[in-house]
Structures are given as C-alpha cells and as structure tokens.
Amino acid sequence: MASHGHDPERALPGALDCLRELALDLRWSWNHAADSLWGKIDQAFWEATGNPWLMLESIPRRRFEELAADDAFLAELHRLCAERERYLTRPTWFDQAHPNGMNGVVAYFSMEFGVTEALPIYSGGLGILAGDYLKAASDLGVPVAGIGLLYQQGYFRQSIDARGEQHEAFPYNNPGMLPVSPLRTGDGEWMRVSIDLPGRVLHLRVWRARVGRVRLYLLDSNDPVNRPVDRVITAELYGGDAEMRLKQEIVLGIGGWRVLEQLGVNARVCHLNEGHAAFAVLERARAFAAASGRSFGVALRSTRAGNLFTTHTPVPSGFDRFDPALIARNLGGYAASLGISTDDLLALGRSPDAGRDDAFNMAYLAVRGSGAVNAVSALHERVSRGIFQPLFPRWPEREVPVGHVTNGVHTPSWDGIGSDELWTQACGKERWLGDQTGLDARLASTADEELWEVRARARRALVGEIAERLPGAPHLDPNVLTIGFARRFTEYKRVTLLLRDPERLVRLLTNRERPVQVLVAGKAHPRDQVGRQMIRQWVEFVRRPEVAGRAFFLEDYDLALAAALTEGIDLWINTPRRPWEACGTSGMKVLVNGGLNLSELDGWWAEAYAPEVGWALGDLREHGPEADDEDARTLYALLENEVVPAFYERDERGMPPAWIAKVRASMSGLTPRFSANRMIREYAVRYYMPAALSADRRTAGADALGADIETWANRLAATWHQLHVGNVSVEQGPDGYALEAQVYLGEIDPDAVRVELYAEPTGEERAVWPLERGEPLAGAIGSFVYRAAGIPATRPRDAFTLRIVPHHAEAAVPLECAEILWQR
C-alpha cells in the first residue's frame, strides 16, 4: 500500500493534523465551506494565493501553535473534517446505479488538468474540462484515477505592454509548494517507473493529488538520476519541438500505465482524453501479453475493448503527427518489446493506403487501440466521422464508428455565491450529486425578483473584482448590460468579429439611454502571430478615450478570472467559424449563474439553442472567411435590436420581463443538461460499464475470446478477396421489394459475415436490411442464396445496393474490422 511522506520540519501541532488533509484535498477548489478557515490562518496570504497547501508550507509555525490553542478555530476545523468524511463515505449515485460496482477503476489520461490555479498544469479548455471531469467523478462516486504530467513550468502567464503586445512568463512550479505529495512505496521509497529510451533509461517520479474521492497521479522526469536532456521532458506544457512532444506522450501513455501496474490498480477502462496518451493502449496490451503469454495481436484485441478514445479535434491538422524516423529512433526498441516490427508499429498510426514516409498519427493509434470512439458534441460527431473516414475506406461516412458525449462543466466550480444560494433554496444542497431529475422544474418556478436579484448581485461582484484588478482605471457600472468573452485568441475563434465595425461598437457602448460595457480576455499561443495581432486590436480599441470605462481587456486569463467573468457577465459571446468549435465550454459556465449566450451555431450551442434561451449566429452551414462581414453585421443587429432592448425594457417593478424569461429558461433547462454531472453519468452508462464487461469477456477465463476475435479478423483479411456477388434479382410486390442474390463466400465461414441491402438514408427511414441465408448453390463450394422481402418500395430499385460486411457477435464493426464488399 502506498503512503505519503511529508517534510518533518513542517509538521503541524497534533491538534491540527486534519488541517493537512483538508489542504491536500483539492475539493476545497469547489467546496468553499473552508474558505473562512483559511482566512483565519492568514487572510492576506489566503487572498493572495488561494492555495491552502502553500499556506501550510509558508506560514511560521508559531501561528499554527496559536491556532492549536484556539478553541473556536479547532471547533470549525473538526466540523469541516467531519463534513469531508461524510462526503467521502456517503452512498453515491454510482453506488446506487451500479450496486455491483466496477471492481476496478477508469484510468483517465490527459495531457493537462485544470483543477485549480494552485496546481497550474493546464493551458485551456482541454485541461479545464479534465479538471471538471475529475470533480464530477468524485461527486458522483465514479471510480476514476487521473493520469497526467507534473510540469515544472506549466503554461505561460500573460502580460500586455504599452503597444498591446503580449509577453509570456513561465514561473517555476516548485512541487513542494503545490498541493501534491510524493507517492511512496510501502518501504517509504519514492515511487518511480522507468522507460527505455535510446541508449539510456528514463526514470520518472510519481506524485499524487487528491480530488475528493479521485486520485490524480502525475509523472515527473525532473529527477537528478536522469540526464539533463531528459530532466526537461516534463519542463513545459506543450513546449519544445516535435521530439520533445513525442517524449512527453511516451511518458504519459507508457509511463502512466506503468504507474497503474506498479500500484496494483485494476484499470478496467482506459479513457484517453485526446490522442496524446494513445501509447497507453500499447502498454496495456504489452502488460497483458506478458501476464497471459498471448501474442501482441491477441493482447491488443483483448484489451482494446476496455479503451475509450475521446477526440476533441475538429480538423485533421489538429492531431499530433510524428515523422516515422522519430518514431523509429525513440520507439524501435519498444516495438521489439511488443514482439512487433517498427513497421508494424507505424502501421497502427497510419491510414491503410499510407506510404512509408507518411507521418504517424496519434489519433489513428488511439482509434486502432480502442473499443469505442466519441466526439464531444453532436455536430463534432459528424465532423469527426469525416476526419476518420480514411481509416474506414469504402464505408459510408455516416457509419464511421464515432459517437458523441457532449461536454459539460462542473457546476459547483462555476456558480457564484448568489446563484449557489438560489439553487440551494430551489433544489437542495445535494442537487449536483445525483441524477438531477426535476431540477429544471424546481428552478423554473423561481420568482422573477429572485432571478433578477441574483443577476444584479453577480454583476456587482464582477464590477468589484475588475476594480481590484485594474486600480486607477475607470470603474464599470453595476447597472449596465455587461457582455464579453474569454478564450484562446486564434484565427478560427474570430475574436475580433465584434471589431469589424469599430464605430458601430462605440455607438453601442456609449448610448446614453441604453449603454453597454464589454470585457475581453484571452491568450494567444506564443507562436500564433494572428492571435497576437487580434490581442493588439482589442487592446488598441479599449484604450480609445471614448470607450473609457466601457471596454476592458483583462490580462492573464486564468481559472480565477474565468470564474469572475462567467459569474458576472450578462451575455457571453462566442463567434467561432463553424464547425471548428468541437464543443466549447466557456458559454456553459454562465448557465448556472443566469448568464445568457449569443453564439455561432457551432459545438454545444448547435444543440442548446432555442429562441427562448438566447441568440444565435449562422445558418447551420459551413462558410469560409467570406462570411465574416455578414456575421459581424448580424451580430451588431442582434445586439442593437434584440439583446439591448430585452435588457433595458422594464416593467412597473423595474425589471426586464423578456430578459428574465430567457434567464429562467436558460438557467433551468440548460444548466443540468450541459453539466459535467450529466456528462459523467452518460460516460458511465454508455461507455464505461459496457467497456469493462466487454474487456472482461475477452481477457478472462479459458475461452480466449480475444484470441477468437483476432483469428476471425485475420482470416477475413486474408480471404476477403474470395468474396463476390453473382446474380441478383429484385421483384416488386404488394409488400414492397423482394430480393434474391447468389453470394460466393469461398473459404469464409458464412457466420463470419453478414449480407445486407443498403440505401442512403432519407429522413427517418432505415438504411440497412439484412438478408437471410438460404440453400447452398449447386456445384459451388461456399456459396448460398440470400433473400430479403418486405423492403419498402419508396425509392427506385437502383437506390439499393447489396453489400457484405464482417460479423462477429462480440466485435465492433467496422471499428475492429473495416472490410466491406459492394455489389457495385
């Protein structure tokens, strides 16, 4: 059993032992019951850092000795520790929904985790989603173990100079000051795992962070036993060249799985949050092969059923791709340990028609090593099917095996004080810990006055926050419609769409009767010159004298600023170029606080939008930059003609009934629907439990199901060329079309394939009709008559095509076997 050691010089008085447990449990990042306790230790330090663990490591011991003698402090500490214990031990949604449990965990691999600003190992949306995922898994009791990297620098901090130029700083993450602990073995040694690299061994230290019930394991190469060139592998998130990125992904995938193996964690499901960690599927198979004596092919076939790949990328160029020479140099020895050649390894990351010089695609490896693939919104599912079409040649795009689970946000992390009180009054304190049934109806019954007061209170809090961040600057007005956005500045986000006609925006902001104020924040990648120019444009605009006090660019967008903005902004704007926003979650964060959205019909908003909950840009079609001017005009018109009037047209009570109606509909209807609570439950029911059971069937017992599926797939690949279709006759009767076909299977087992009639679907009409196998054909081996009847004659005969596809009761087709034969 692993244990944790701490610096004895920082030992606390015995009466405060529980304080260390509270500080190391990142639950404080979303459960704010202990905020007053941290403030009592040192209010100024707490406000400056927001990091309880740093307080324990930095504040003089004499202060803790004083607190150990303070009865009121001890009483509050004991109450909070008891409350934490109740949270950790109470029955959970997962206990009730799956009383037999998983007998193991979901291993969730991610390149970044945005749990709290006190652990800065994230850059943006992917990491914040991963952090929200861990928090929701803890709340719902889903057994999850997170796997990531402990970066010495993390992502950059931003400053803006007098010319509007972004500058980047990379503060050092001192692990001793972060809320993490060294993971130690039973004999007190620091747990390490190792990976063979060309000519040397890479040693990786393991740290642990607690996120409520969830454990997050973080690997670190900055070990003195490593060469200097290897110590910096985990120096910087998304830093360095292609080879450095490859080494980071080797550490995450291979090293991460070895951590689980060394801990003895039974990871029944491996969830890849993007393709960065795809090497984990290889290491999982290697470990199973070593334990079972199976070949690598059988081991991968057996274990892949327990792997889930979530793609967040809306364009093929977004995937990590590596030169084959890089793969050969860094993983040639690893391929040998798998029992395969380097060419075999490369083939796992390439399309079927790839050449020898084609790049190795990490997303392709993830698809080939997983039992299911999902996108992160309904629209992104369609986009992803097109992206992965090269792996399934000749299959219709609609049948490319990608599903979707739309992202969600961890609502307790994003609700402000006022909205938290409102939700508690309407729906109870444990509203986000179960299945959310009935929350929408209960919140919808809230009185107009209460909703409007929550919005006013949130706007006032934001005004105060901005005043503290920008001392000396003109103050925002707490009674003015406040719009804004915060996100990564890059070309497809079109963050300057609102600046397309700057004079029109000035008139909107400075209208005397109905003024508007706008807040903007975000970072550009250091090498993204277009994004940097967009920042300069916004900075130049907000510095115009006529918009002083009405427009602000806020430096160094981080979790704390995101929380302030999403709590206080009335209208969140999002203007990506469809369909480049795979999902987007920033606009989801305003929902719980009663903020409204005006967004392009892309990502999650394409699912969420209805006229009663907000406003929309776009026409549900894809356009290039030529549509930007028209979208800008639409954006201005919506603000001028619909948004501003809805906010300022007041009734006899001084409230805006049209605005409040939208707040009620959005807040009650969309908040539960786009929460991480719903997302986690969907993953558990649709993917985790079926994946765990499927992997068990393939790997457990003596029936060797995994080997049977591998034999089936290999035999089909070797004999597929023998298939052909003979005469096909179609007759039309009163019940529709009746079809009879002669099919020649050669050496292929008739049960190993399925003969089908296919037509491109129209509306809700089905696309596939199976044919039944009849009598053998005389004089021909492996040939049969196949028949189908009652096929609707709503389309002409030539709209239908006969096809033959693989079939195995336990295999995912076409994900695991993409052969297909068409009649024509």
Q: What is the CATH number of the domain that holds 732?
A: 2.60.40
Dihedral sign for Cα 140, 145, 151, 152, please.
Answer: positive
Pick from 334, 343, 323: nearest CA to 197: 334
Count the Cβ atoms, other than its own, within 10 Å of residue 173: 20
Domain of 511, in residue numbers: 433-670
Q: What is the pLDDT of residue 105?
A: 97
Length of the chain: 824
Q: Do both 472 and 616 map to the same domain? A: yes
- The segments of the chain whose pLDDT lies below 50 read 1-9
Query: Which amino acid is located at 483 in the chain?
Result: I
* Residues 818 and 401: beta-carbon distance below 8 Å: no
Q: What is the pLDDT of residue 329?
A: 96
**Residue the block writes with tokens 């003195």:** 224
| DSSP structure class, residue 121 | B
Separation CA 58–CA 61 (nearest Å): 9
Question: CATH code at 486?
Answer: 3.40.50.2000
Query: Which amino acid is located at 442 in the chain?
Result: R
Distances in Å between the Cα of 209 and the Cα atoms of 148, 149, 175, 560 are 11, 11, 11, 20
- How many Cα atoms sit within 13 Å of 94 on the Cβ side? 25
Query: Which amino acid is located at 187 in the chain?
Result: D
Q: What is the pLDDT of residue 766?
A: 80
Query: Which amino acid is located at 656 in the chain?
Result: P
Separation CA 343–CA 330 (nearest Å): 13
Q: Do both 633 and 723 map to the same domain? A: no
Q: Tell me the pLDDT tens digit for each residue of 511-530.
A: 999 999 999 999 999 999 99
Pick from 724, 682, 767: nearest CA to 399: 767
Q: Do both 507 and 452 map to the same domain? A: yes
Residue 693, in any domain of the structure = yes
Q: Do both 160 and 305 map to the same domain? A: yes
Q: Do both 328 and 280 map to the same domain? A: yes
Q: 3-class DSSP state for residue 347?
A: helix
Residue 426, in any domain of the structure = no
Q: What is the pLDDT of residue 3?
A: 39
* Residues 562 and 588: beta-carbon distance below 8 Å: no
Q: Do both 145 and 225 map to the same domain? A: yes
* Residues 41 and 67: beta-carbon distance below 8 Å: yes
Beta-strand runs (E) in 548-689: 551-554, 571-574, 596-600, 614-617
Q: Do both 67 and 100 map to the same domain? A: no
Separation CA 823–CA 744 (nearest Å): 12
* Residues 258 and 193: beta-carbon distance below 8 Å: yes
Q: Do both 391 and 444 map to the same domain? A: no
Pick from 481, 483, 448, 461: nearest CA to 654: 448
Residue 97, in any domain of the structure = yes
Q: What is the pLDDT of residue 703?
A: 62
Separation CA 124–CA 121 (nearest Å): 10
Q: What is the pLDDT of residue 700?
A: 84
Q: Do both 390 and 447 map to the same domain? A: no
Instruction: Count how many domains the chain has.
Output: 4
* Residues 307 and 816: beta-carbon distance below 8 Å: no
Contacts of range 20-24, beta carbons closer than 8 Å, 24 or more positions apart? 20/56, 21/81, 21/84, 22/52, 22/77, 22/80, 22/81, 22/84, 23/52, 23/53, 23/55, 23/56, 23/179, 24/53, 24/179, 24/180, 24/181, 24/209, 24/210
Q: What is the pLDDT of residue 5?
A: 42
Q: Do both 402 and 447 map to the same domain? A: no
Strands 736-744 and 783-791, bridge-based pairing: antiparallel
Residue 291, in any domain of the structure = yes
Q: 3-class DSSP state for residue 149?
A: strand
Q: Do both 649 and 763 map to the same domain? A: no
Count the Cβ atoms, other than its own, within 10 Å of residue 456: 14
Q: Which residues contact 720 (CB under 8 A, 6 or more apart)?
A: 748, 819, 821
Burial of 90 (0-12, 13-18, 19+ CB in 10 A): exposed
Question: At which of 55, 89, 123 does a domain end?
Answer: 89
Q: Do both 140 and 18 map to the same domain? A: no
* Residues 256 and 237: beta-carbon distance below 8 Å: no
Question: At which of 89, 114, 134 does a domain end?
Answer: 89
